[in-house]
């Protein structure tokens, strides 16, 4: 098979033209191309208003010597390629002399999966397909129940501590933007398997080719439900509203996410080794989506904008403090949501529905937090304690509502005149004006005084990003806080077999410090399941 990169088409040109373009590059007649498959599509807006889609394609031809053709062309965008197809791990026909079908009828032999976010979901799915009949414990509710509990939080401010945007079937990703892009290399085909499984349960097939695939909260609910039913059909057993407590169990895939703080504390007491790690926190910003589109695409007509979709950005800046300031989880046409999970503490996230047709764009603008800032070498859970402290401050700022402030006020300390305000807030959850600077202000006797430069670093980043998107630092930009759970502040070390220091525990996903989003967490859960299958095969 032949792979061709950097095939350009105008955004509104039909993809049928890719066949002739590919033939021209290969210097062959298009009739020699048996099959053409689009592997990837990204936007090239470097010469706006001329905007292109850049394609990567995979070709099957009737040529006898494809490798020779590629060598003669000497084109770095043309190469020989093989399709990566995920190889599902298989159990031996018997384990410890007992047929597999009988072995996993005994509950004590069945693997346990703790948590049903992306990592736990795909770990359980792989184990179920292998015939291991996993038992899944999820402290939260099913997605059907969870929808009502989350709406209760957003509309009335009523928090359900075990069923909320963080806890429940599907994990935190179910009530976020549903972005499926990842920087993880996919040499094994795991990434494609995850995307194909999402498509099988209702996602748009275009997520297979988009460089920045997106599902949307409204679609994720049905997808998660469908994967649960598939696991059940293969012998998997679910226990919702059930918090797992460790008592020396073996063959446990630990996929608890980064909000199960009480479980971290219990596992540390039980002897599970953990390490503090760097992470990031900050605020979420809202701008008009039209402003973002104009900056990224220029003035385009409705047909082109529909083909392109709402614009998305990704920024990074190094502040004078030495801290990294960068955008995270950018949600085109989305909403800022209350994503709290603990009484008396408040955190936020961003969310988009599949259509991404809201009036505002939002993104987290976050500042790096070093483990030295919270004495992580001495206390592996120090980052969790810092998160809790700042979330409690955010809660108190607006009496449990989302605290929001205009950027001009945050920057100067002076109120933004009403005539300069034209951006209307787009929240899911009650909100109230507040002084966000107070979240990252610490007295001299605080253990976190090194974080007193966070506000200045944030402002420096906002001003820098305005050079790339004019108006990014406009005074009426809406800020909200606190974005505290961008990634886990904890890593659970594991050996070459993906096992923790406690025998039979396989930590994985975002909560264990090995992933950074829905897809990478799902892939890491698959790796943990593969390791557990390998373990069973050695018994």
Strands 335-338 and 402-406: unpaired
Kindly report, residue by residue over 319-378, the tens digit of the pLDDT: 999 999 999 999 999 999 999 999 999 999 999 998 899 999 999 999 999 999 999 999
pLDDT of residue 178: 66
Nearest of 455, 511, 499 to residue 279 by alpha carbon: 511
Where are the CATH 3.50.50.60 domain residues in the chain? 94-274+492-537
Cβ neighbours of 84 (radius 10 Å):
14
Residue 82 pLDDT class (50, 70, 90 cuts): confident
Q: What is the DSSP letter of 436?
A: G
Measured CA to CA, the distance from residue 296 to residue 315 in angstroms comes to 13
Kindly report, residue by residue over 180-232, the tens digit of the pLDDT: 876 666 788 999 999 999 999 999 999 999 988 888 888 888 999 999 999 99
Specify whether the CB–CB gap between 332 and 292 falls below 8 A: yes
Measured CA to CA, the distance from residue 256 to residue 488 in angstroms comes to 11
Average pLDDT over residues 298-320: 94
Q: Is 7 left (phi over 0), alpha (psi -120 to 50) or beta?
A: beta
Spell out the long-range contacts of 272-275 with Cβ–Cβ below 8 A and sequence spacing 24 or more.
272/246, 272/492, 272/500, 272/501, 272/502, 272/505, 273/492, 273/493, 273/500, 273/501, 274/380, 274/381, 274/490, 274/491, 274/492, 274/493, 275/376, 275/380, 275/490, 275/491, 275/492, 275/493, 275/513
Q: Where are the alpha helices (DSSP H) in 253-381?
A: 261-269, 289-297, 302-308
Average pLDDT over residues 390-394: 98
Name the CA dihedral angle for 259, 261, 264, 265, rounded to a multiple of 10 degrees: 180
Cβ-in-10-Å burial (0-12, 13-18, 19+) of 169 comes to buried
Measured CA to CA, the distance from residue 510 to residue 522 in angstroms comes to 9
Nearest of 231, 283, 201, 266 to residue 125 by alpha carbon: 231
Kindly report, residue by residue over 419-439, the tens digit of the pLDDT: 999 999 999 999 999 999 999
Kindly report, residue by residue over 505-523, the tens digit of the pLDDT: 999 999 999 998 899 999 9
pLDDT of residue 515: 92
Average pLDDT over residues 377-391: 97
Cα 383 to Cα 114, 278, 376: the distances in Å are 22, 9, 7
63 phi and psi angles, rounded to 5 deg: -75, 140
Tell me the longest C-alpha to C-alpha distance in the chain.
79
Kindly report, residue by residue over 255-290, the tens digit of the pLDDT: 999 999 999 999 999 999 999 999 999 999 999 999
**Half-sphere exposure for 268 (CA within 13 Å, toward CB):** 18
**Half-sphere exposure for 295 (CA within 13 Å, toward CB):** 19
Q: Where are the alpha helices (DSSP H) in 183-286?
A: 190-200, 217-233, 261-269
Topology of the domain covering 94-274+492-537: FAD/NAD(P)-binding domain (3.50.50)
Instruction: Please give the CATH architecture assigned to the domain spanning 2-80.
Output: 2-Layer Sandwich (3.30)
Where are the CATH 3.30.70.2700 domain residues in the chain? 2-80
User: Which are the contacts of 505, defined by CB distance < 8 A and separation ≥ 6?
Assistant: 246, 252, 254, 272, 499
pLDDT of residue 187: 81
**Per-position DSSP letters for 79-101, written without gaps between them:** EE------------SEETTEEHH
Nearest of 289, 323, 278, 185 to residue 486 by alpha carbon: 278
Measured CA to CA, the distance from residue 503 to residue 490 in angstroms comes to 20
């Amino acid at each position: 098979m032949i792979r061709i990169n950097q095939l350009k088409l105008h955004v509104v040109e039909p993809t049928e033209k890719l066949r002739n373009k590919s033939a021209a590059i290969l210097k062959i007649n298009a009739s020699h191309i048996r099959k053409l498959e689009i592997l990837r599509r990204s936007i090239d807006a470097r010469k706006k208003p001329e905007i292109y889609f850049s394609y990567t394609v995979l070709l099957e031809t009737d040529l006898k010597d494809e490798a020779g053709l590629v060598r003669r062309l000497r084109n770095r965008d043309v190469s020989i390629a093989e399709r990566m197809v995920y190889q599902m791990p298989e159990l031996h026909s018997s384990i410890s002399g007992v047929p597999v079908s009988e072995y996993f009828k005994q509950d004590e032999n069945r693997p346990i999966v703790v948590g049903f976010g992306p990592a736990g979901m795909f770990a359980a799915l792989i184990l179920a397909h292998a015939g291991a009949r996993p038992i899944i414990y999820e402290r939260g509710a099913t997605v059907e129940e969870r929808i009502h509990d989350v709406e209760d939080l957003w509309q009335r401010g009523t928090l359900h501590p075990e069923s909320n945007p963080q806890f429940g079937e599907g994990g935190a990703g179910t009530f976020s933007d549903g972005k499926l892009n990842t920087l993880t290399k996919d040499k094994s085909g795991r990434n494609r398997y995850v995307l194909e499984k999402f498509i099988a349960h209702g996602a748009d097939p275009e997520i297979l080719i988009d460089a920045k695939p997106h599902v949307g909260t409204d679609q994720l609910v049905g997808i998660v439900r469908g994967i649960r039913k598939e696991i059940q059909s293969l012998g998997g057993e679910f226990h919702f509203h059930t918090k797992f407590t460790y008592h020396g169990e073996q063959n446990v895939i630990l996929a608890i996410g980064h909000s199960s703080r009480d479980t971290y504390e219990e596992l540390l007491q039980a002897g599970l080794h953990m390490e503090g790690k760097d992470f990031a926190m900050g605020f979420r910003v809202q701008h008009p989506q039209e402003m973002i589109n104009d900056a990224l695409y220029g003035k385009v007509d409705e047909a082109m904008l529909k083909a392109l979709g709402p614009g998305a950005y990704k920024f990074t800046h190094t502040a004078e403090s030495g801290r990294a300031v960068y955008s995270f989880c950018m949600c085109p046409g989305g909403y800022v949501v209350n994503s709290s999970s603990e009484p008396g503490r408040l955190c936020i996230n961003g969310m988009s529905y599949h259509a991404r047709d809201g009036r505002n764009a939002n993104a987290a603008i976050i500042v790096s937090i070093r483990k030295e800032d919270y004495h992580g070498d001495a206390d592996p859970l120090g980052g969790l304690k810092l998160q809790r402290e700042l979330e409690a401050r955010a809660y108190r700022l607006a009496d449990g509502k989302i605290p929001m402030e205009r950027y001009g006020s945050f920057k100067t300390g002076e109120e933004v005149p009403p005539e300069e305000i034209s951006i209307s807030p787009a929240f899911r959850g009650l909100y109230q004006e507040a002084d966000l600077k107070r979240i990252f202000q610490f007295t001299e006797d605080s253990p976190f005084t090194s974080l007193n430069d966070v506000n200045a670093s944030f402002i420096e980043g906002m001003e820098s990003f305005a050079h790339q998107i004019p108006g990014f630092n406009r005074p009426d930009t809406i800020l909200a806080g606190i974005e505290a759970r961008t990634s886990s502040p904890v890593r659970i070390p594991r050996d070459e077999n993906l096992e923790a220091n406690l025998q039979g525990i396989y930590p994985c996903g975002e909560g264990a410090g090995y992933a950074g989003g829905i897809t990478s967490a799902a892939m890491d859960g698959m790796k943990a399941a593969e390791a557990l299958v390998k373990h069973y095969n050695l018994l």
